Structure 1
Amino acid sequence: MSTILPSDLPVMSLAEVLDFLEREFPQMHAGGRSYHLEAVGPLSARMRMDHHERHLRPGGTVSGPSMMALADLVLYAAILANIGPVALAVTTNLSFNFLRRPGATGLVAEARLLKLGRRLAVGEVAIASRGSDDLVCHATGTYSIPPA
């Protein structure tokens, strides 16, 4: 078994991940574009979610399901960037801690992969309101990577 070193990664550029997502996962833009992958790096990715009425819940805050989708998407992007175009890498677990109520504003999610193996990837996501360093949500997730 070979060890994947962060210096060996990422294997896909930001442009390549964006092209892959457009081709293989266009439903992420259903209802209009609000998710924007901004960066990929060794064992990491950053994604922004624009403020939009469809992401709000009663009380004028961003809904939990919108934050869950953002976390899932940015983890998927981090994994793709670091293993290559594997469309069938799938979420097997997601866990969320909602830390504070975000206002009606866009969010920024930073993903970091904690383990990247041949069959499983484990990562965490820190989500903050745009313009703030205070976390509104912390998520962890595990993805199954199909055999080559």
Structure 2
Amino acid sequence: MQPVMSVEDVEAFLDREFPQIHLDGRIFAVEAVGPGSARMRMKAGARHVRPGGTVSGPAMMTLCDLALYVAILAQIGPVGLAVTTNLNFNFLRKPEPGDLVAECRLLKLGARLAVGEVSLFSEGRDDPVCHATGTYSIPPRK
């Protein structure tokens, strides 16, 4: 299935409907959307680093959730009330401070539920630092 929203469309929707994600500046960027997929970047700054010199779990969780939402929106259009119903995270290795890249793939896109997975990578690294699976509830079309 080809996306119905472009990178620019999704970013404009997020800017309009969720301006709070940019309170600390533009740290999230949609880099690509494709058939059942999305790639995002988070510019992890000092506020995202926890003791021990690693990007915090909550920062990684936010990026995974947002990447899944973006992949779904790109396929179904601007549906602000699509909501997370489940997220599961496996933290695989310590991410270095710096940018994180999320690669998201939808596993199922139905009329009411979407299921996907996200792999997070430290920029320039091949081994994922986190793997997440999630489910979103899609409201009925009116």
Same fold (TM over 0.5): yes
- Counterpart CA distance in 2 for 1:57 and 1:24 is 29
Any gaps of 5 or more consecutive residues in structure 1?
1-5
Alignment of 1:1-148 (within 5 A): 6=1, 9-148=2-141
Question: What value does the CA root-mean-square deviation take over the aligned residues?
Answer: 0.7
**Secondary structure at 2:116 match in 1:** strand
| Partner SS, residue 26 of structure 2 | coil
Query: Equivalent pairs: percent with the same residue?
Result: 70
Structure 1 consecutive aligned stretches of length 4 or more whose deviation exceeds 3 Å:
none
Please list the CA deviations of residues 34-64 of structure 1 after superposition, one character each: whole Å capped at 9, or x if unmatched: 1111111110000001130011111110000
TM-score (normalizing by structure 2): 0.97
Task: Spell out, residue by residue over 1:57-115, the C-alpha distance to the aligned partner (whole angstroms, 9 max, x if none).
Answer: 11110000000000000100000000001000000000000000011121100000000
> Which string of whole-angstrom CA distances, capped at 9 and with x for unpartnered residues, describes residues 1-41 of structure 1?
xxxxx2xx201111111111110111111222211111111
1:103 is paired with a residue whose SS is coil
Q: Report the TM-score when normalising by structure 1.
A: 0.93
2:129 match: secondary structure:
strand
Rounded to whole Å, the distance in 2 between the matches of 1:55 and 1:127 is 15
